[in-house]
Structures are given as C-alpha cells and as structure tokens.
Amino acid sequence: MAARARTNMAGLCSTALFMTLGACATTPPAQVPQAVVPAITPPQPDRWPAVQSRVADDPALALRVRELLGGMSLEEKVGQIIQPDIASITPAEVAQYKFGSILAGGNSAPGGNEKAPAAEWLKLADTYWKASDQARWNGPKIPLMWGIDAVHGHANVVGATIFPQNIGLGATRDPALMRRIGEVTAREMVITGIDWDFSPTLAVVRDDRWGRAYEGFSEDPSVVRSFAGEMVQGLQGRAGTPEFLGAGRVIATAKHFVGDGGTAGGKDQGDTLASPEELRDIHGAGYPPAIEAGVQAVMASFSSVRGEKVHGSSALLTDALKRDMGFSGLVVGDWNAHGQVPGCTNTSCPQSINAGLDMFMAPDSWKELYANTLAQVRSGAIPMARLDDAVGRILAVKLRAGLFSKGAPSARLLAGQVEQLGSAQHRAVAREAVRKSLVLLKNNGNLLPLSPGANILVAGDGADNIGKQSGGWTISWQGSGLTNADFPGATSIWKGIDAAVRSAGGRATLSADGSYKRKPDVAIVVFGEEPYAEFVGDRATLEFSPGDKTHLDLLRKFKAAGIPTVAVFLSGRPMWVNPELNMVDAFVAAFLPGSEGAGVADVLLRDARGQVAHDFQGKLSFSWPKRADGAPLNRGDEGYDPLFPFDYGLRYADRTVVSALAEDRPPPVPGGADGVFFGRGSLPPGWSWATSGQGLTVSSLDRRAQEDARRFRWTGASEAQAFIQTAAPIDLSRETTGELSLLVDYRVDERPSGAVNLAMNTASVPIAGVLRSAPIGQWRTLAVPLRCFARAGLDAKAVAVPAAIGTAGRLSLSISDVRVASAMINQDLCGQK
C-alpha cells in the first residue's frame, strides 16, 4: 500500500535509488502524511499491481551508487549499458570499452568450442574479468558481469546437470522442487564463473505452435505464478537473509516481459493482441511474485503488444514494470531486439533506452551501437538523467550481488570445483524432477506399471538419445546434432530401464528400429520431436511429425504382433498424436526430461521386490489437443474441448479407459510457416518451382507419398536452372545470424558432368563435389549454412529465390524437401570448390 501511494505521488521517483540520483530529490515520500495521499480505488485497468519486494530499500547502497556514478566518465557509463557476446568481443576490447557485461549466447563458448570443458569456461570468465579489472578506469573499477541461458540447468556446459524443460516442471506442480533446481543451477554456474542467469522464463503459453512453448511452465497464469518466485529464490537465495546473492548464488532474470507467450498464431517474436487486462492478469502473472522475491533483472520481450514492440514501449518498461510494480533492478534487452523497434537498427536505438531499457543485448552490434549511443547522450537524444538511472540500476544490481567484493570468478566459493558439476547429489534432484514431471495419458488395461522381470523391448529413436530427451538450449542453441558422448554422466531413458531391469534380474533389449528375435512380453517405444529453439520451433499445426510416420509404423507393427506397447513421447508441447494413442496401450507424455533419463524407469517399472516405488504424479499444465490444427486451446476458454484437460494425469489406481480416437488429419500444411519452402509435394501459397535455360525437364515422383518429390534432368544443352521463387521476398537475416542452414533433401540419379551451383537469390555455392560423391539412388540431405550465402553476397533481407540449382552439364537430381533449419554441418561448403 505504501509503495502504491508513493508511486502516485512521485511517479517515476518511487525507488529510494532513484531519489538519490538527484532527479527526484524534491519528493521525500517518508515525510508525506499518509492522509493526504489519495487512495486509488478502484485500480485502473491499465495499472499494474504495486509489489513490495523483499529486497529492502537500502539507503547506504543508494549512496554508494551515487558516489560511483559521480566518479564515472560518460564513456564508462555508456559502456555499462551495452552487453556484447563473447563470440564477437575479445577481453582486450572489453577492457578498452569498459563494458558492464558480456553474455554467452546459445552458440557461444570458450574458443568457439561448444564442448569446451568446464575448466575452460572458468578460465575464460577470469580472462574477461581481469581484463575489465585492469582497464584504465576514470574512478573506481566497475566489475564485469557475465550472463548466460542456464534455462534447464547450466546446460550450455558439457557435464552439467540438465533438468527437465519448464513444461515438464510445470507438470510436477511442485514449486518447492523448483527452488531446489534453482539452487543447483546456481551452484553449477558459479563453478564455471558465471554471475547471471537469463532465467526463469515466465511466458504464459497460449498457443502451443510457438517454438518456445516448452520454455514456459504452463498455459495457465496460476501455475506460472506459483513457480516464478521459487525459481528466483533458488537462483538468488532468499531476499532478506544472508543467502541472498551470497556464495553459490547468481542473479536471476524474469523473461520475456511481457506477452511473449501470447503472440498471434504462436509466431515467435510476433504480436500479442491481448487486452491490457489480459496482458497484466494472464501474461504478466509471474512478474509480481518474481519481483517480490527480489529478482534483479527483467528481460524485455522481442515481441510486440498490440502492434508496439516491447523494446520501444515506455508504457510497459517504465510505467508498468518500474513505476507500478516498483521493479528496482535492471531491464536487459534481448538479442539485438532493439533493432526491431521502428526507426531503430541493431546499432542505433535511443528509443529503447528512453522507453526504459537499461542494458542493450548487442551481441555483435556493440561497436557501432556504443559510438551511436555515446553520441546520442551527447546530443541529448538520450537524456543524461535516463542514462544515470540505467547505469545506477546496473550498479545497484552489481552491489547487491557482491560483485564489487567477490573478486575474480575463480576466487569465489565453489569456483573450479568441477567434480561438483553434475554431481550425484545434483543429478538426484533432476531425477526426482523427471519422475514428477511424467504425465500418464493412457493406461488401458493397466499395462503400467511393468514388471522388471518381463522380457522388455525398448525401441524408437528417442530411447537411447540424450540430445533428443533434452531439447533446445542444450550445449548449443538448437540442441541438435549431439550424441550421447556429449553428455558425460547423463543417462538415456534406455540406460535407466536397462539398469532397473538388470537389478531386478530381468532382461531388456534395445532395438531402435524395433526388430527382435524373441518376441518380447512388452515394448516401450520412445519417440518425439527433434530439438529446436525459438522461432526454429514454430509450427503451422500441432500434428506430430507430419512428414515422417516411421514411429507410427513401428507402433502398428507391435500392435499387429500382439505385443502390449507403452509409448514414451518426448516433446516440447502437447501435440496431436491420436493415431499413436490408438496404437498403444499406455502413453506417457515425458516432455523434455533432460540428462536423468533414469527417472522414467523409476516410474514405469515396479521395483525389484515387485512394489510400486513411484506412482505417476504429473498433471498437465497445458491442455492436450483434440484437433491437429493447433488452434489455441487453454483452460477457461469458451467451449473448451480438449482431448485431455488441464490438470489431467492418471495414477496407477485409476481405471480410466481411453477409447479409440478420431484420426482425421488436418489438410496438409502448405509450408512456409516452418521455414519449409518445399515439402510433402507442395510449396507455400505464392511460391512456385520454375526453370530457366534450355534442356532441363521436370517430372514428379514419389518418395514418402504420392508425387511428393520432383525430378530434374539437365541434358547439358545450355546453362539451365531449377529454382523456387516468390514475388514477395522474405527476410532471412535473423536466420542467417542464427546459424541456420538451407537444407535440401536430394537423390542423385545421374552424376553431374560439370560444375553445379546451389544459389540463394544469386549468391551461389558450388555443390558438384558433394553430388559427385553421393551414392546413386539414395536420399540424402545437403546442408549449406546461410552464412555461406551471406559470404557469397546474399542480401538476406530480401530473399525471393531461396534455392536455385544450376549447371551447364548433364545431371539428374531428385528433390523432396527444401527448408531452412538447424543442421549439423560436416562439410565446409563455404570453402569448397
């Protein structure tokens, strides 16, 4: 109440910190008699709740901030509000510019090696920290602060404990467990010398087609609200106690403020059309508890709210967050997201700072952004008071986090104790989380729990695949292309089953393709989505794997053979899996459990004495769809008609029977939405195949379905090209900086007689070598990193021809799929002749 009253009187000057900065010195709220403060009843709909943070106002700290600010040069102040990425800045440059912070994005790692050992991370943290420490400071040194996305454990680092992604944690309905997960995550981060976590994600996910659905705890604000404060306290320690930002703790970030989970169509970085009340009460639900718990950073969302980019919205960043809710920490931007504000570029955006952003995330754009921001402060385009407020907030966070006294990263408690990274104790917390996150959707005839004495066949491409069970934001940004060897100390789902069965004296067999010699008593089939992150995971529908039904064939085979079957489904969201549900007796939604696959066996199997040691406990925190089209479906909707409602989840004692479900698929998606230019035989509306030149013929052929591929024959009569085109060029610049590739599924039917080029627009890469070494008649995938095209001169902002294949020689080539996606690249096509 007091905070609310002060807010009204003094507007922006609500925090003790701000007042010490001079701008508000004339409003001493403590001396204002309560009686003269008008009560605000009823609250205006666009007012956000006043929140009383458990981090007490600290006049001594505010004074220290003012002193520090007084000693800083203008350049040093600007340096504090820019955060470059380690992939694009050297320690020497950090020292030269005296930046306040650095980050390691999902694809950034020591020496560019994503698999660098933990000790190297700590060494690098020290190197940057020391460079900054030895910089020529005008006044007192300002310590550097390093941020990272430890969004399901410190999963960037090989050997760390990887927790279930938030969608699974939401299903545990166990916020106290979340706090322990935060504690472990913080400890593992401190071991590697990193101060600041870009977590938790507080998105309230309203459209599961969104590629970041799994980063959210729930579609429902109540669940997000219950987890938000606990995760903050786990990472930072409890405010008001000595553990707060003490040894073994890190700074937390509530993200992405606000409305990230509400974009129309589930489009990443899109536009949220929610009303002001929905924005506050649904999408904003996690922020009051996070702020109350003392969260020190909030990350602004890439997305827009009713057409306005959050990065340019003073109504949201300043009024709602800082004024109404009284947030006194720092607001960090997202990855070059300021560049999307109208009138801004990645390298110039006074609008964002003026709207209330305190720190630009400027991974590769920092140099010019620094120069421009400095000039904008000098010219008055950014008011000095705003800069001082931003820097003051950053300094206050660093002071609260003890960074002025903690010393170099390696000098801190726990630092370098790499044996604690992924320790048995930490993994036990993750395994408990896995057990609690599993949701039993179907258990006809009570097939589960299984007896470990049975002859169990474990099949499916997810059975022994730790990368797949971990999802995005794992070792790399997309989490793709990993093998079990990249996860020392981790356990696949298969390994967990095998160990449990062995210890009970039984026998389990792994057979990814489901083949067997002796007919098993029961089969467990583990399958699901391939890893993805952010916009790469946006989907046009919720049908699981529309283009490839191998897993379904496997389920059918077992059914036909009369083998009772359990499906364990790995996914970042609920999906339409009616055909799969129909084929099996039991179906477990396991979401993305992370490194402790053994948690699955803990629940699926009876123990060695035949007892149920762990019943299912998970409840859906997302409604499970009855329809495949992916239309938004959330608890409380009018006409709410899910297949399995929010809160659903069977227990072993339940006798619920799931009867046969309708299997009508949605009409095939024309592509485009998933970065698909050609797939299932069709192109997005407005796109077409075309040819130029003489002596090139095109025919249709069947690969997986009728006429789902094209065959091109070049006779060598002249230079000729086959290409995909559109009249409305698309912008692929984000995909280009995001390490994505152009993927072409092809089959060589006759080898090329001369040079062959693959071009995007007119930027081309030679591919004859690849085609010549490909076996005749076999389907393969060619992956060309988009940066290769950029290097060849592509203007990624306007792509009208995403793929063109041309040769003057002879060649016969079939193509079934053309898309932009993440890929493991084994061949350096950029350099190849």
Residues 227 to 286 in contact with ligand BGC, rule: CB under 6 A: 255
Q: What is the CA radius of gyration of the chain?
A: 28
Q: Is 534 a catalytic residue?
A: yes
**Minimum CB distance to ligand BGC, residue 437 (Å):** 21
**Residue placing its CB nearer to ligand BGC in the complex, 334 or 358:** 334
**Residue placing its CB nearer to ligand BGC in the complex, 133 or 364:** 364
Among 106-114, 126-134, 305-313, 790-798, the segment contacting ligand BGC (CB under 6 A): 106-114
Q: Which of 255, 256, 234 is nearest to 153 (CA)?
A: 234
**Minimum CB distance to ligand BGC, residue 178 (Å):** 18
Instruction: Give me the half-sphere count of Cα atoms (radius 13 Å) on the Cβ side of residue 71.
Output: 13
**Residue placing its CB nearer to ligand BGC in the complex, 529 or 534:** 534
**Minimum CB distance to ligand BGC, residue 787 (Å):** 11
**Residue placing its CB nearer to ligand BGC in the complex, 86 or 456:** 86
Structural contact between residues 651 and 440, judged by C-beta atoms closer than 8 angstroms:
yes
Q: Which of 143, 130, 140, 142 is nearest to 91 (CA)?
A: 130
Note whether 107 binds ligand BGC by CB under 6 A: yes
Note whether 532 binds ligand BGC by CB under 6 A: no
Backbone angles phi, psi at 604, to 5 degrees: -70, -30
Q: Is 513 a catalytic residue?
A: no
Which residues are within 8 A (CB) of 660 and not within 5 positions of it... i.e. 6 or more apart?
Answer: 582
**Minimum CB distance to ligand BGC, residue 475 (Å):** 11
**Minimum CB distance to ligand BGC, residue 87 (Å):** 8
Q: Which of 783, 739, 672 is nearest to 533 (CA)?
A: 739
Residues 466 to 495 in contact with ligand BGC, rule: CB under 6 A: 477
Among 75-83, 737-745, 762-770, 779-787, the segment contacting ligand BGC (CB under 6 A): 737-745
**Residue placing its CB nearer to ligand BGC in the complex, 11 or 112:** 112
Which residues are within 8 A (CB) of 550 and not within 5 positions of it... i.e. 6 or more apart?
Answer: none
**Residue placing its CB nearer to ligand BGC in the complex, 227 or 624:** 227
**Residue placing its CB nearer to ligand BGC in the complex, 9 or 825:** 825
Residues 319 to 358 in contact with ligand BGC, rule: CB under 6 A: 334-335
Closest-by-Cβ residue to ligand BGC is 105
Which strands sit side by side in the sheet containing 439-443, from one edge to the other? 439-443, 586-589, 565-570, 522-528, 455-459, 507-510
Q: Which of 369, 294, 361, 289 is nearest to 332 (CA)?
A: 361
Q: Report d(CA 50, CA 15) in Å as an integer.
A: 12
Q: Which of 370, 362, 369 is nearest to 85 (CA)?
A: 362
| Of 188, 334, 602, 719, catalytic | 334
Among 99-107, 374-382, 494-502, 628-636, the segment contacting ligand BGC (CB under 6 A): 99-107
Among 63-71, 103-111, 396-404, 763-771, the segment contacting ligand BGC (CB under 6 A): 103-111
**Minimum CB distance to ligand BGC, residue 738 (Å):** 4
Note whether 149 binds ligand BGC by CB under 6 A: yes
Note whether 739 binds ligand BGC by CB under 6 A: yes
Among 100-108, 449-457, 630-638, 779-787, the segment contacting ligand BGC (CB under 6 A): 100-108
Instruction: For 521-568, give the DSSP string.
Output: SEEEEEEEPPP--GGGG--SS-BS-TT--HHHHHHHHHHHTT--EEEE
Q: Residue 301 is encoded by which pair of tokens?
A: 């969302």
**Residue placing its CB nearer to ligand BGC in the complex, 199 or 816:** 199
Which residues are within 8 A (CB) of 246 and not within 5 positions of it... i.e. 6 or more apart?
Answer: 237, 402
Structural contact between residues 230 and 166, judged by C-beta atoms closer than 8 angstroms:
no
- Whole-Å CA distances, 56 to 291, 318, 394: 12, 21, 17
Residue whose entry in the numeric block shows the structure tokens 């005749």: 776
Which strands sit side by side in the sheet containing 304-305, from one edge to the other? 271-272, 304-305, 308-309
Q: Report d(CA 295, CA 272) in Å as an integer.
A: 24
**Minimum CB distance to ligand BGC, residue 303 (Å):** 10
Looking at 143, 159, 649, 738, which residue binds ligand BGC (CB under 6 A)? 738
Q: Residue 523 is encoded by which pair of tokens?
A: 């089969």
**Minimum CB distance to ligand BGC, residue 299 (Å):** 6
**Total residues belonging to the chain:** 833
Q: Which of 825, 744, 829 is nearest to 790 (CA)?
A: 829
**Minimum CB distance to ligand BGC, residue 418 (Å):** 23
Q: At what angle do helices 221-236 and 175-191 cross, to 10 degrees?
A: 40
Among 105-113, 179-187, 494-502, 617-625, the segment contacting ligand BGC (CB under 6 A): 105-113
How many amino acids of this chain bind ligand BGC (CB under 6 A)? 17
Looking at 29, 91, 106, 467, which residue binds ligand BGC (CB under 6 A)? 106
Can you say whether residue 669 is alpha, beta or left, with left for phi > 0 and alpha for psi between -120 and 50 degrees? beta
| Of 219, 324, 534, 585, catalytic | 534
Looking at 29, 79, 105, 164, which residue binds ligand BGC (CB under 6 A)? 105
**Residue placing its CB nearer to ligand BGC in the complex, 203 or 282:** 203
**Residue placing its CB nearer to ligand BGC in the complex, 114 or 188:** 114
Note whether 509 binds ligand BGC by CB under 6 A: no
Q: Report d(CA 672, CA 724) in Å as an integer.
A: 12
**Minimum CB distance to ligand BGC, residue 311 (Å):** 12
Structural contact between residues 533 and 211, judged by C-beta atoms closer than 8 angstroms:
yes
Q: Report d(CA 328, CA 18) in Å as an integer.
A: 9
- Residue 521 CB neighbours (<10 A): 15
Among 102-110, 566-574, 663-671, 775-783, the segment contacting ligand BGC (CB under 6 A): 102-110
Instruction: For 482-514, give the DSSP string.
Output: --GGGSTT-B-HHHHHHHHHHHTT-EEEE-TT-
Among 237-245, 393-401, 420-428, 734-742, the segment contacting ligand BGC (CB under 6 A): 734-742
**Residue placing its CB nearer to ligand BGC in the complex, 188 or 334:** 334
**Minimum CB distance to ligand BGC, residue 83 (Å):** 9
Residue ranges in contact with ligand BGC by CB under 6 A: 103, 105-108, 149, 198, 255, 302, 334-335, 477, 534, 734, 737-739
Q: Which residues are catalytic?
A: 334, 534
